[in-house]
Amino acid sequence: MDIERLVSLLDNPADARSWLETLGVDNAERGQRNLEHLSQCGMTLDLLAVIVGQLAKHLPSMSDPGMALNSFERFVAQTRSPLAFGSLLERDPESLAILLQIMSTSQYLADLLIRDPDVFDLLRITEGQPVARQVLVDEIRAEVERANDERMAMSVLRR
């Protein structure tokens, strides 16, 4: 998507809602707010235009495009650096397709990813394959050792 089209969608909520409906977003008003929030998350307009173009490509094939868009916006808001995450999606467009598929299929999994966005990076790096048990044990042990108190350690273990 070019920047002019993106700016037009952001400046004209009615146009954005109509466009979102063509993508299969059932609650276009909420989808339009999702686009607004994405535009305020710290990504540059040119990067956001790339991401929105990818959304336009992938959302129509999702089982619930509206849920996927809403969860995606919430996910981006929780990342440490939305700009860095957007750059990752620009370099690796397949990552967005995978993320949207998860978010469209299961609200539970979407909420888990939103709560801890780094989990998506782990899924992406391991290509969804299991990680060796000892690697996980070592990571948990290291996080518990970094905890300042027992309450924090218990929080690490619950995650």
Q: Which residue has the higher pLDDT, 87 or 158?
A: 87
Return the number of other C-beta atoms located less than 10 Å from residue 59's C-beta. 22
CB 72 within 8 A of CB 31: no
Other CB atoms within 10 Å distance of the CB of residue 147: 14
Across 26-40, 88-102, 123-137, least confident range: 123-137
Q: Please report the pLDDT score of residue 124 as a whole number.
A: 83
**pLDDT single digits (tens) 95-127:** 999 999 999 999 999 999 999 998 898 888 877
Question: Percent of the chain beyond pLDDT 70?
Answer: 100
Residue 131: pLDDT above 80? no
In this prediction, residue 121 carries a pLDDT of 87
List the end-to-end C-alpha distance of the chain, in Å, as a whole number: 38
141-159: per-residue pLDDT in tens? 998 999 888 888 888 888 7
pTM attached to this predicted model: 0.81
**C-alpha to C-alpha distance for 66 and 26, rounded to whole angstroms:** 6
